[in-house]
Amino acid sequence: MERTYFKVLCLLLCPFLSAFSQTSKNEMYADLDKTGSNYYSYSTKLKTQTPTPKGYEPFYISHYGRHGSRYYINDLAFKKMYDILDSADKSKALTTLGKDVKNRFFVLWEDGENRAGDLTPLGVRQQVGIAERMYKNFPTVLAKGSEIDAKSTPKARCVLSMSSFCMKLKELNPNMNITMDASKHDLYYMCYENKEARDRRMSDTAWTNPFGKFHYKYIQPDRLVASIFSNAEYVQKHIDKTAFMRKLYDISCSMQSADHINISFYDLFTKEELFDNWQVQNAWWYAYAGPCPLNGSDAPYEAADLLAKIIEEADHAVKFGAPNVSLRFGHDVALMSLFALMHIDNCYVEERNLENLYTEWCDFKIIPMSANLQIVFYKKKKGNDEDVLVKFLQNENEVGIPVKSDIYPYYKWSEARDYFKSQLRRK
């Protein structure tokens, strides 16, 4: 009841926030990249930030960022799709469009071979841009002599994201002191995954039964498959139509990450098909790393150690004034769970009807490539150093938490911290 009261109160104080969650077919149709789920490229269409409260200045930033845009996670998928289409071509079972699709996959195979999951040039540009805007928005935090503590998971795309970000900061201010580290040592909080618990959640029939019905309602592959393959008998013998469509959709999502090769598959789908495939993908993410009540709403608690570390390091910075910035570079699963655990606006939604989910909870708004959380800390220029305010930036836009505030988007750190600790106690 108390949590519901706070959510209602926050919405009354800042009614414009609900627009973040609302999604329509028209929005998706106007920008098909949004159907790309977690492959959606980071948006730089940012809202103007609220002025700092009088008498305060920022002194510390706590950050967790997903790596930048990457190559498709499985480079062998390009070769497998090419082989499927090539075999059909040799059997004279491809349409003219199908032959063209085969040629596209050959280009992808050549470009992406042995690059599975690697950071793309776009991913580098995204991280550089975020670093540049952080420097511009918070110059007193990133001033001469600032201490920057940067950590990354050991994945190459995360390490390169960290280095791209930090190199840009160093370029903007050579007098910063930056330390970087990437180690399995920190995985327990940087990207904790309980595989057994997750497997149990994803196999829970309370989830799989409604999801299965939802999946087969919205995944209708016949039209697409018929546009690529010319021989229905061949398709019946050799092609799993549903699996083919889903893999083609998944690869299609990833193409916006590799803008250097300028290949798209959007022309193969109708807008409705892209939207429907995204609905299914969005629902999957909701159960996998989101607060889905159908399989227990437990996934957010996998970010408990990460949130505890953020609190611990923030308290240290508040007390000792260093470091000035804590940078952390990791992955979508950890960040999605963290946003939900913190109850960041529209990231913790309990919806049992999958038909309604997309209107309330949207994966591409939560974990696009280079998604990030920035918690900015403020103190008075003169006076009590314990009077600390914070604001929360999700993908560089101000967001709220279910804690009462008369100066939204700013909150008292003591009250925000108490709320987060209450969330940890519920683990």
Query: What is the C-alpha separation between 3 and 219, in angstroms, rounded?
Result: 37
388 and 255 within one domain: no
Last residue within a domain, chosen from 252, 287, 322: 287
Look at residue 34 and tell me if it is in a domain: yes
What's the pLDDT band for 427 if we cut at 50, 70, 90? Answer: low
Looking up residue 185, the CATH number of its domain turns out to be 3.40.50.1240
Confidence at residue 8, expressed as pLDDT on a 0 to 100 scale: 42
In a domain, residue 323? The reply is yes
What SS3 state is found at 47?
coil
pLDDT tens-digit profile of 305-336?
A: 999 999 999 999 999 989 999 999 999 999 99
Do 297 and 277 share a structural domain?
no
Q: Which two tokens stand for residue 96?
A: 């003219």
Model confidence band, residue 385 (pLDDT cutoffs 50, 70, 90): low
Question: What is the domain count for the chain?
Answer: 2
Domain match, 281 and 139 both: no
Stated as kind and residue range, the H or E segment containing 376 is strand 372-380
Q: Quick one: 411 and 332 in the same domain?
A: yes
Same structural domain for residues 319 and 333? yes
345 located within any domain: yes
- Domain check: are 105 and 54 in the same one? no
pLDDT digits (tens, 9 = 90+) for 56-73: 999 999 999 999 999 999
Choosing from 287, 313, 341, the residue where a domain stops is: 287
Domain ranges, residue 265: 76-117+222-287
pLDDT digit string (tens) for 73-121? 999 999 999 999 999 999 999 999 999 999 999 999 999 999 999 999 9
**Do the domain assignments include residue 272?**
yes
168 within some domain: yes
Q: Does one domain contain both 319 and 409?
A: yes
In a domain? residue 213? no
DSSP of 283-352: HHHHHHTS--GGGTS-GGGGGHHHHHHHHHHHHHHHHH---SEEEEEE-HHHHHHHHHHTT-TTTS----
> Do 142 and 54 fall into the same domain?
yes
Q: Which pLDDT value is given to residue 382?
A: 72
> Model's pTM, two decimal places?
0.93
3-state secondary structure of 57: strand
Last residue of a domain, one of 259, 287, 315: 287
Tokens standing for residue 415: 């009250």
Whether residue 210 is contained in a domain is answered as: no
Check residue 18 and give its pLDDT. Answer: 41
Looking at the fold, whether 387 and 238 belong to one and the same domain comes out as no
Asked if residue 271 belongs to a domain, the reply is: yes
Same domain, 410 and 362: yes
